[in-house]
Structure 1
Amino acid sequence: MAKFAVILVLLVLAILLCGVLALSSGAVLSDWRLAFSWWLPLSTQPFTELQLTVVTELRLPRLLLGLMVGAVLAQAGCAMQTLCRNPLADPSLIGIAGGAAMLALLVIAMGPQLGLTGHYWVSAAAFSGALITSLLVYQLSRSSNGVNVATLLLCGVAINALAAAVIGLLSFYASDDALRLMSFWQMGSLAAVTWQPLPLAFLSLGLCSALLWYRRKALNLLLLGEQQARYLGVNVRRLKRELIVLVALGVGAAVALTGIIGFIGLVIPHIARLLVGAAIPRLMPVAMLLGALVLALADWLARMALPPAELPIGIITALLGAPFFLYLLLEQKRRLYA
């Protein structure tokens, strides 16, 4: 328990340090005091109006959203790996991200002809695609005994393949400008974040996170297996349904706001499991803090790597996550043949 508390404290301190770094440095204005400027009284401000605007209107909202999205993606990854009882599962495995991307890219490619232009239409289409996909997957995988996990995964594979085909077709017919926007959206970014969508984003992401945390004990019992969980009083059928809906809500909102950001929901639960074990009451909060830290750090690296240009955040998370995931696979193989 002492180790768990120490890890939580260290992660919180690391997040605070990353927040200071993200607010105080950038391609244009860099000063460590900028991190504390947004709450100082106007009478004592040592900064210009331009500097305050950069911090409060550009850097602060994307930092807050990055922390929230990272936490929810990591939490959803924990839930999916527990539901599927597969360490390779992640929130995009059941087709949620693919369905969201398909409708969002449809609006980007064909929106000007339909009169649907702007970031809000893209976000609404992505969220609608995530919900429609989750409902479709749930209906296809439902049986008299509840949700069949194997069928759930196969439906996700089929929907991801269909989404990839539709996205390829849209890319073939899209204009050059739309094609560039489509490519950038698929790699994920926090660059377009403003204060306006944040209340609704925090409502949906916070609701998903709170309800997943509320079901942590049932999730922990599900680690023992479905039959054992039933013996211990868990309504496994209802729990599966709730997990699918909550993961769809959280991932759909995240994809709608930031595009597709990979490896957070897949790798972060593995790292948290190495730190505190597989028990969900310990695993979930560590994974959430670690996911928030990694995504905020990746966003800062995306801004600082090639100034004044900005890399898509999905590239940074893939560069950080893929080597570590290969390391985990090699370690698992070494232990298997030891």
Structure 2
Amino acid sequence: MSAPTKAPETEVDSSPVEGSPSEHGRLLLTLAVALVVLAASVIGGVALGPTSIAPGKALSLLHEALRGGVVSAEDAGTYAIVWNIRLPRVLLAAVVGAGLSTVGVAVQAMVRNALADPFVLGISSGASVGASAVALFGFLGALGLYALSTAAFLGALGATLLVYLIARSGGGLAPLRLVLTGTALSYGFSAITTLMVFRAPNGNAAQSTLFWLLGSLGGVTWSSLPVATVVVALGIGYLLLSARRLNALSMGDETATTLGVAPERLRRELFVVTAAVTGVVVAVSGAVGFVGLMLPHLVRLVTGSDHRRVLLLAPPAGAIFLVWVDVLARTLAAPEELPLGVITAAIGVPCFLLLMSRRGYSFGGR
């Protein structure tokens, strides 16, 4: 019997969007509400902190900064807090949350595993090795303030390449091989990081490294934003354009092939995109867990399983979530800060358990 003829890829791209016009209207309304909530969250994130600032005052100072106005001498200190410290931190929290949430959607489709997240491929652990080498032993010290981010990014790229080469050696990027290879190497990288912390010559450096490993946006400046924002935006754009192919891939390789999608090629593309976005995010914020695992599931409860809908709401949902996580990290133990990973785990674990206990819940949504 002859092999089935591969359908042209345009079959997937030309398929109609599921749902009635009323459902599309609800989706657009939900997206509009999410964007409004995100804007309000940014203002709230700027206003709240160890030193609270009235939201109206924060808005006024932001307006003056954006139009190049002059602030009074008595507001100079508050202006510095709003513009130089809090706003770049809040914006980076939004970028990181949007990136992790969106990449979580892609990873779960790529490996067809509802429990996968952006760190399942060992990228986060690889980045942690690079960052720990800087914080503990002064690696790349000549780069100054950029040493930590550069080393974390290089570690992420190295881990990505290693996972790819090992998983690929079996003849293809099968989902199970990717998950098993990433998980195994993640444990290996974590062991290396632990050994480095244990052998650290400076106790304060070891403590700072452990804090960073759980995620932190402390010390963020405007220079931290451009690269992360561009990479995350490009990654989200690519995934939105690939949403129909993700729908096909999530139904299995055989079904995807009949719909004109080459599963292995798409998986390679997704692997590169998710690695790049995750590596950049980890380089600027540390290893923030649970966002890429939990937010995609919560979004699917609202939108269903169609990736064209999920990928529209995942970025603002992740951004809103991490902005408020950062607010909690700054305020719960003020003047000290809590690691972001502590807050995301405290919120994520009970939410995810509740989500999984929903009767009839599965990977695709309800």
Q: How does 1:196-207 map to 2 (within 5 A)?
A: 196-207=223-234
Please report how far the alpha carbon of residue 311 of structure 1 lies from its aligned counterpart in structure 2 after TM superposition.
1.5
The counterpart of 2:194, out of the listed 168, 178, 196, is: 168
Find the counterpart in structure 1 of residue 49 from structure 2: 26
Paired position in structure 2 for 1:257: 284
**3-state secondary structure, aligned to 1:234:** coil
Structure 1 residues 332 and 249, CA gap change in structure 2 (3 angstroms)? farther
Q: Aligned partners of 2:331, 2:38: CA distance in 1, in Å?
A: 18
**1:327 aligned partner:** 354
* Structure 1 CA distance for aligned equivalents of residues 106 and 271 of structure 2: 9
Listed as ranges, the matches of 1:80-159 within 5 Å are 80-111=107-138, 115=141, 118-142=144-168, 146-159=172-185
Secondary structure at 1:146 match in 2: coil
Most deviating of 198-207 and 143-152: 143-152
Contact conserved, 1:145 with 1:237, CA < 8 A, in 2?
A: no
How high is the sequence identity, in percent, across the aligned residues? 36
Shift of 1:8: 1.2
**CA distance in structure 2 between the aligned counterparts of 1:137 and 1:97, rounded to whole angstroms:** 12
Q: Which amino acid aligns with 1:164?
A: S
1:39 to 59, 63, 69: 63
Contact 1:131 1:249 (C-alpha < 8 Å) held by counterparts: yes
Q: From 274, 282, 291, give the equivalent of 1:247.
A: 274
Q: Secondary structure at the match of 2:353?
A: helix
In the TM superposition, residue 275 of structure 1 has moved relative to its aligned partner by 0.8
Query: Which structure 1 residue ranges, 5 or more long, are not aligned?
Result: none
Q: Cα distance, 1:201 vs. partner?
A: 1.9
Q: What is the TM-score when the length of structure 1 is the normalising length?
A: 0.93
CA distance in structure 1 between the aligned counterparts of 2:123 and 2:100, rounded to whole angstroms: 12
Distance of 1:74 and 1:261 partners within structure 2: 11
Determine the structure 2 residue equivalent to 1:6: 29
Computed over aligned residues only, the root mean square deviation of the Cα atoms, in angstroms, reads 2.0
Amino acid at match of 1:33: G
Cα distance, 1:117 vs structure 2: 7.2
Given that residues 123 and 278 in structure 2 are in contact (C-alpha distance below 8 angstroms), is that contact kept between their aligned partners in structure 1?
yes
Given that 1:76 and 1:91 are in contact with CA atoms closer than 8 Å, whether structure 2 keeps it comes out as: yes
Letter in 1 for 2:268: R
Distance 1:31 1:162, change over 3 A: same
Distance across 2 between alignment mates of 1:333 and 1:110: 50
2: CA distance between counterparts of 1:301 and 1:117? Answer: 32
Aligned residue identity for 1:322: V
Higher Cα radius of gyration: 2
Shift of 1:125: 1.0
Q: Which one is further off, 299-308 or 71-80?
A: 299-308
Mapped partners of 2:241, 2:313: distance in 1: 16
More helix by share: 1
CA distance in 2, matches of 1:318, 1:324: 10
In 2, the alpha carbon distance for the partners of 1:146 and 1:334 equals 31
Counterpart secondary structure, 1:196:
helix
Report the Cα distance in structure 1 between the residues aligned to 2:232 and 2:45, rounded to whole angstroms: 22
Amino acid at match of 2:63: W
1:192 pairs with 2:219: yes
Query: By how many angstroms is 1:206 displaced?
Result: 1.9
Cα displacement string for residues 115-159 of structure 1 (whole angstroms, at most 9, x for unaligned residues):
457441111111111111111111111258631111111111111
